[in-house]
Amino acid sequence: MKILIIGHKGQLGRTIMHTPTAHELVGIDLPEHDITDAADVIPTILALAPDAVINPAAFTNVDAAEADPDLAYRVNAHGAGNIARACHQLGVPLIQISTNEVFEGTAETPYDEWDQRKAESVYARSKLAGENAVRFYHDNVLIVRIAWLFAPGGANFPGKICAAADKHGTLRVVDDEFGNPTYAPDLVPALLALLDQQAPPGIYHIINAGSCSRYEFALEVLRQAGRGHIPVTPIPHTEWPRPSQPPLRALLANRAAAALGIQLRPWQEAVAEWAQRETT
């Protein structure tokens, strides 16, 4: 199968491109191709004639999105819609990567795939609009929601925690925001499995097993990355003001992919591999 990765230079895109697979992987990204430019990206996708498309491309700077909602919507909603239009013309499946932030994050228990969405931040609302846009233009769409993505070498929470620990020697980390770490090298085989199995269109939650607070995530990262001696003070999110407020408890339950036998290992095991790959 020829699989086209949109945004192949980003954290998840790069991880897909580096994954050993029998499939042919091709990618497009900025600055050569801009998904907001329908007149460029649709003919480009048609000319590449992939058998399937995975779209991790997005405006992902959650805080910056608050100051530029127009760009966030153009990329995350209209751009995603352009890709879906091309996939519809080709008649091929599209995996659209989405986020746990489409949920309000007030539920005690994890959200199921079919639960009511209520996005709060600009980024979250633009990603929710992206979910709607791809399904408006195309019927063979698999929306894969993930959370707290990390990969070796990427700009992500574990990397920032280690860098801050090395710089300051002590840390304050929010302990009342909860999520599901999602290790990109674990996620990619799951995405390919959805395509290999010709999984039905719909919504899938694919995250590493288990959940944690930012504080617990930081402690595990520091422990596994040889920095367990760094003192970490738990703080409420109100003491870490940001331009955008992420949902405090948008935990995801994997029901649809699990029914197909697709589940990721516990997040602590993924952190161990991440730390080992970062330090070798």
- Give residues in contact with ligand NAP (CB under 6 A): 7, 9-13, 29-30, 33-36, 56-60, 75, 79, 97, 99, 127, 146-149
For ligand NAP, which is the closer residue by CB, 6 or 228?
Answer: 6
Going from the C-alpha of 63 to that of each of 14, 75, 122, 134, 244, the distances in angstroms are: 23, 15, 9, 24, 5
Residue nearest to ligand NAP as judged by C-beta position: 10
For ligand NAP, which is the closer residue by CB, 13 or 105?
Answer: 13
Nearest distance, CB of residue 55 and ligand NAP, angstroms: 7
Nearest distance, CB of residue 153 and ligand NAP, angstroms: 11
* Positions marked active-site: 123
Nearest distance, CB of residue 147 and ligand NAP, angstroms: 5
213, 178 Cβ separation under 8 angstroms: yes
Q: How far apart are the first and last CA of the chain?
A: 33
Nearest distance, CB of residue 57 and ligand NAP, angstroms: 4
